[in-house]
Structure 1
Amino acid sequence: MILEHAVLDVVPGQQEEFEAAFDEARHIIAAMPGFRSLRLERCLERPTRYLLLVEWDSLEAHTVGSRGSPEYQRWRALLHRFYDPFPTVEHYSRVLVADPSA
């Protein structure tokens, strides 16, 4: 499993419109082969900043499959206009986990 991480800085005043567009866009990504889950979190200290966390089966499921698909153009059209600056996307693999039962 791979975790995609992106900090999304949205143009001030466009948060509601961004969230509505993301609500539509999430269906695009959820239909991609290799997609596992998605979380979009809004920053409490900076209300124009969001954290996007997406779990994929593999790095290639995101970088080749999703980004290389025709559906990605719809994702871009819905969301990319909101970002300033454009986000850096990074991918992580799990090292360890802690939970209350550990």
Structure 2
Amino acid sequence: MILEAVMLHVKKGLEAEYEEAFRQASGLIRSMKGYCSHELQRCLEVEGKYLLIVTWETLEDHTDGFRRFPEYIQWKELLHRYYEPFPTVEHFEKVELN
């Protein structure tokens, strides 16, 4: 299981519009091979700051799957215009502690 984590900064005054666009875009990501779950968290201290967390079965399901399908183009069209600066996507794997 891979965790994709993205800190998002939405342009001032567009937060409500962004959240609605994200609701629409959510159906696109849910349909992808290897998708497990996702959530969008709104920061309480900083207006316009969000944390996107997506879980994938494998890293390749995100990097070679989702990003190379027509659904990603739709995702970009719905969401990318809201970000400033453009976000950096990072991937994490769980550290086994036992």
Shorter-chain TM-score tier: over 0.9
- Deviations 1:14-38 (Å, cap 9, x if unpaired)? 0000000000000000000000000
The aligned residue for residue 68 of structure 2 is 68
Alpha-carbon distance between aligned partners in 2 of 1:9 and 1:46, rounded to the nearest angstrom: 9
Q: Confirm whether residue 45 of structure 1 aligns to residue 45 of structure 2.
A: yes
Q: Distance in 2 between matches of 1:26 and 1:85?
A: 21
* 1:1-102 → structure 2 map (5 Å cutoff): 1-96=1-96
Secondary structure at the residue paired with 1:54?
A: strand
- Per the TM alignment, residue 91 of structure 1 is displaced from its structure 2 partner at its CA by 0.1
Q: Structure 1: which amino acid aligns with 2:58?
A: S
- Indicate the RMSD between aligned Cα atoms, in angstroms: 0.9
Residue 68 of structure 2: SS of its match in structure 1?
Answer: coil
More helix, by proportion: 2
Q: Secondary structure in 1 aligned to 2:77?
A: helix
1:82 is displaced (CA, Å) by 0.1
- TM-score, normalising length: structure 2: 0.97
For residues 90 and 36 of structure 2, the distance between their equivalents in structure 1, rounded to whole angstroms, comes to: 17
Q: Where does structure 1 lack aligned partners over 5 or more consecutive residues?
A: 98-102
Q: Which amino acid aligns with 1:25?
A: A
List runs of 5+ in structure 2 lacking aligned partners: none
> How many residue pairs were aligned?
97
Amino acid at match of 2:76: R
Give the secondary structure class of the aligned counterpart of 1:40. Answer: strand
TM-score by length of 1: 0.93
